[in-house]
Amino acid sequence: MTGKHAPSTAAEARQAKRDRQPLPSPRRQLRSIAYGLVAAVIAVAALGLVATRLLPAGPAAAGAVQIQASMGGFTPGAMSVKAGSTVSVELVSTDSSFHSDGGGWHEMAIDELGIDWKVGPESSKVFQLTAPTTPGTYTWYCGICCGGRANPSMQGKLTVTA
Ligand SMILES: [Cu+2]
């Protein structure tokens, strides 16, 4: 009396043996692919942080005053313009998008002059600054990163000369 599930031929016996062996499970393969992806993401993030420190911002756009912004502050931290003149200002963010505080975005804002310029990670943008007709000094700031406006290292000084 042979039961329905008992192997009755040699071929069936081999098949039954194969069925009992653990297969390299697709779940296990997925897991190693996932680990690989995580490692790749971490490597890219680390490279991004290093590159931020290594890459110079490059020459200023033609005829523009270049101001670089990073988590460390503005470089240069001061500029002066003649009253009533218009100058091009190239705002550069040297930070990568991997910065958790602001994602590499920086701002150059002067409330009194209605200026609020923003620049994304590792990029630059040229803005036109029209100086007021009367001399004076103004503070610009970045409100995006590092405690924002209250942080003295994320500030700069604009001097409007006669
Ligand atoms: Cu900033």
User: What pLDDT, in 10s, does the model give residues 130-140?
Assistant: 999 999 999 99
Distance (angstroms) between ligand 1 centre and the Cα of 151 equals 10
Highest mean pLDDT among 24-28, 45-49, 86-90: 86-90
* Residue of 127, 153, 137 lying closest to 66 (CA atoms): 127
Could you tell me the distance, in angstroms and rounded to a whole number, from the CA of residue 39 to the centre of ligand 1? Answer: 29
Q: How confident is the model at residue 117 (pLDDT cuts 50, 70, 90)?
A: very high
Report the pLDDT value the prediction gives residue 11, as an integer from 0 to 100. Answer: 66
CA of 24 to the centre of ligand 1 (A): 50
pTM: 0.66
Phi/psi for 12 (5° steps) reads -65, -35
Place of tokens 């043996």: 17
51 residue type, one letter: A
Report whether pLDDT(27) > 90. Answer: no
pLDDT of residue 3: 47
pLDDT per residue as tens digits for the range 35-46: 665 565 445 555
Superfamily of 64-161 according to CATH: Cupredoxins -  blue copper proteins (2.60.40.420)
